[in-house]
Chain A
Amino acid sequence: MAGSLRGAARQPVTPAERPRADRPAPDAGASERGAPGGLARAGSAAARLAGLLARRAVLLAVLLALVFGAVELLPGDAADATAERGESAADIEARRHLLGLDRPVLERFADWMAALPTGDLGTSARGESVAALLSTPFPNTLLLGGLALLVTVAVSLALGCWAALRPGGAVDRAVSGSATAVLAVPEFVVAVALVLVFSQWAGWLPAVTIADAAGTPASWDMLVLPVFALAIPQIGWNTRIVRAALADEATAPHVETAVIDGLPRHRVLSHHLLPGALPAIAAGLATSTGMLLGGAVVVETIFNYPGVGSVLAGAVTDRDGPLIAGVVALTGAVISGVLLLADLVRAKASGGRG
């Protein structure tokens, strides 16, 4: 997708090639929304929102079912995995019964799902409440992922716009080139490199996160390296999307008109280019949310960050179905929320033209 967008971006813009000449200007859409019949529209918008929500909820439930199924497919179960070395088969069997692992997986899944709406995420393989196990790590991960998303938004918008203002120039080439390079680098390589350079060589920043009595990072500077380790690959991806979406939008007639009218470049950017490019940018960022939370598993381990990533990794080792499902339910809900938001942004920006 990025490839084809960039292909379009590199094309010289000639009047003959305007692909969306029939597209109404955003202003027209705005006046339409203010027209009589707004109530009916609001009603249908609410219905659409409810539909979107329902779809996301169903998707999440399917995902959770898959998670339970996948844990079932792993060799061994939680009773084996948490056994002490040399524990007798009878003891393991007794714990298997205690954990309810001798019941069919469907039954366990149904029970777990039934308790979910009350906020009960079940009991872990070690007998702890899953909700309690996640109560500190999950907000920590949200903080890490949220900050990484903010940095990604700010930096990729800035870089993308900077490059788009001078298409084909040195800045554009440098930004597009390095964006491609960093998006290909896995988070753990970025993380190890950041620790080496900024902590072990320069000594400017802490190498790992140390939690305080509240279970949260003991000081703010511990967040810097993990946030950037997560954000850098996503910045690469989103910069390219921003750059491409702006280039795409630049071919729209209203933008060309604005340029011909002699409006200042930053005004063209903020009032004519960005609004049209917003849906594509929002979709790109929404995708990044999933990548950020996924990357957190790796990054949290490297930085010893007290988040759900480390809990999840351990839970997989323990074949701890309820704990894995708990993590997936929470992160899945967040990702669904962000995707929904992106859908709404797109719906609003395209003014019901979709």
Chain B
Amino acid sequence: MDATRRQLLWAGGALGTTALLGACGGDDPAPAARSNGSEKPRRGGTLRVGALGRASAVTRDPHGVQANESDYLIIALVYDTLTAPGAKPNTAPRLATRWTSSKDLRTWRFTIAEGATFHDGSPVTADDLVWSLKRLRNTQSGASRMPGVAARNIRPYGRNGVELVSDYPNAELPQLVRLSTFILKRGTPEKEIHQSPGTGPFKLDWYRGGNARLVRNDAWHGGEVLLDAIEVRLFESPQALSNALLAGQLDLASNVGAVAARTAERRKDIQVVRRRDDMPLPIVMRTADGPFADPRVREALRLAVDREAMVEQALSGYGVVGNDIMGTGDPAYDRSLPQRVRDLDRARKLLAEADFDLSRTYELVTTEDVAALAESATLFASQVREAGVKVKVVKRDSTVFYDDVWLKGDLYTTYWGTNDSVVFFASKTLSADAAQNEAGWRDAPFDAAYRKAMRTADASERATLLRELQKIQHERSGYLLWGVADGIDLAAAPVRGLPKLPGYGRVQLERAWLAR
């Protein structure tokens, strides 16, 4: 409740700032992207980064629950995961440079970089890998972070490798371990976990209350790091984060959002970095039962929504329209499927065919957890009204929402921080037995395609199956994905080499450098 008030306040303040700045700004066009490839990367300098988080929720355990973006940023620069998000393919090497699978796609072997060492100089061994991954697996959320791999099935492989045996064939295991498989030094006592040396591109200089200073690791296995240091600062509100960057107190405001970008577009000395396909903001229509169980009704709502207008108004244009398939950043995302566009006549016809009760008012439950979510709900309600469907938006406190509505409600908004994998959503939210099946969707042909894809080693054959899976989702799942928000960072003019990846790829700052 208080959080809602606080968020309103930030929003109010941010709007005020924007309006006033807008009024006094010039009419210069937005600055062009500055980083031109011909510049020679320069060594040295300290990058001052601001990231969002709450002082009350700081966590330092790399295998803990990192609610703060600032904490995850610090951890991801000090420690290395086995694999990491990439552009194409979406799984890139990190501490592991090679991985191979058995024929049945159940046993996966990861070999780590030759000569990789911890910050204290000791080499990384198979025992460190096994110890760290078992520790991760045994945390509360271990089951979803190491899907299908029991702790006893994590074994050493050779001198500097690890073997993971999955309970079922899983062609995408390397992709599913990209985010949390941080490698620590074996035997670190629980009380000293945050002091365990890492293997990452930066070493921890100091940490205090969510803020930290990191210095270059000259011995990083991943190549030369150019920056001398990175200073990470925790910010409670996007508005303060944006103000700090505009005032020159930061070089990078990570994931600061569209409101800040609008303010900064007029400033020639600020780069607006748009990371495409960052966050899907779908509306979930329950398929298992209730008023939206009839696929014709869901199709009608998908046709009633004006996607372009949603992106323009809810996201201030910082995003792209969706085609009701989750995971738009995946190289395997099927762009050949026809884009669904608004068709009110057909929507009305489908509703009539399905005998949908137009006299009732349906509740759409939303939260203010992320920017634009509640706004999208309001816009949706007014748009489907034109097809004769009466929708009332109900805002809920986050805690209440996750208790009472999520995974249960008939109609609600949701969002995901990962969007570069169609398989991720198939396994997490779409297959019948998925733990977080948001719409209660059970579709036998979809499940069959998904399971087959997971058993298929051949890349082109798997791509065909993934297209099949997307086609079914496009046709009849419980998702109405009207659009995907850009991830937006603001950076000072001299910053180069910033990550362009969506989602958690935003933390890959090891290639950044300063042209000054």
Contact = CB atoms under 8 A, between A and B. Distances in A.
Interface of A: 74-76, 80-88, 91, 94-95, 124, 126, 133, 136-137, 188-189, 191-192, 195-196, 199-201, 203, 206-208, 210-211, 213-215, 298, 300-304, 306, 310-320, 323
B34 interface: no
Contact of B402 (A85, A88, A200): A85
Contact of B243 (A201, A207, A306, A319): A207
6 contacts: A74-B1, A81-B398, A86-B141, A206-B244, A211-B209, A312-B56
Contacts of A76: 397, 399-400, 403
A301 B208 contact: no
Interface in B1-59: 1-3, 6, 9-10, 12-13, 16-17, 20-21, 24, 54-57, 59
Given A207-B246, A210-B233, A200 B209 contact: no
A312 B55 CA distance: 9
The interface centre, meaning the residue of B236, B241, B247 with most chain A CB atoms within 10 A of its CB, is B236
Given A200-B21, A301-B6, A75 B397 contact: yes
A315 B1 CA distance: 12
A212 B211 CA distance: 8
A136 B208 contact: yes
B208 A214 contact: yes
Contacts of B428: 86
Nearest to B243: A207
Contacts of A82: 57, 65, 67
Nearest to B207: A213
B interface, over-half SS: helix
A213 B399 contact: no
B54 A314 contact: yes
Contacts of A315: 56
A311 B55 contact: yes
Given A86-B144, A208-B247, A302-B239, A213 B208 contact: yes
A195 B242 CA distance: 12
A203 B240 contact: no
* List of 6 A-B pairs having minimum Cβ-Cβ separation, nearest first: A314-B56, A76-B399, A207-B247, A314-B54, A207-B243, A304-B240
Contacts of B243: 195, 199-200, 207-208
B209 A80 contact: no
A313 B241 CA distance: 17
B435 interface: yes
B399 A80 contact: yes
A232 B155 CA distance: 64
Given A74-B1, A301-B10, A301-B237, A207 B249 contact: yes
The interface centre, meaning the residue of A133, A208, A298 with most chain B CB atoms within 10 A of its CB, is A208
Contacts of B2: 313, 316-317
B56 A320 contact: yes
A12 B13 CA distance: 44
Nearest to B144: A86
Given A208-B243, A302-B237, A304-B236, A124 B56 contact: yes
A206 B245 CA distance: 10
- Say which size band chain B's interface belongs to: 35 or more
Contacts of B213: 213
Contact of A318 (B56, B233, B235, B246): B56
Given A206-B249, A302-B13, A133 B56 contact: yes
Nearest to A323: B56
A206 B247 CA distance: 7
Given A137-B209, A301-B236, A80 B402 contact: yes
A136 B58 CA distance: 14
B140 interface: yes
A304 B236 CA distance: 6
Nearest to B435: A86
A152 to B, nearest CB: 23
B55 A75 contact: no
Contacts of A300: 236
Given A208-B240, A211-B209, A317-B398, A311 B13 contact: no
B57 A126 contact: yes
A298 B246 CA distance: 21
Contacts of A203: 247
Nearest to B245: A207
Contacts of B436: 85-86
A84 B57 CA distance: 12
B130 to A, nearest CB: 24
A194 B10 CA distance: 15
A233 to B, nearest CB: 15
B248 to A, nearest CB: 8
A130 to B, nearest CB: 10
A316 B3 contact: yes
A96 B149 CA distance: 27
A83 B206 CA distance: 28
Contact of B209 (A136, A189, A317): A136
A120 B81 CA distance: 38
A226 to B, nearest CB: 11
Contacts of B208: 136, 211, 213-215
Contacts of B240: 207-208, 301-304
Nearest to A195: B243
A213 B215 CA distance: 14
Contacts of A208: 235, 240, 243-244, 247, 249
Contacts of B247: 199-200, 203, 206-208
Contact of A211 (B16, B233, B239): B233
Nearest to A315: B56
Contacts of B17: 192, 195-196, 200
A85 B402 CA distance: 8
A84 B65 contact: yes
Nearest to A91: B140
A215 B20 CA distance: 33
Nearest to A314: B56
Nearest to A216: B208
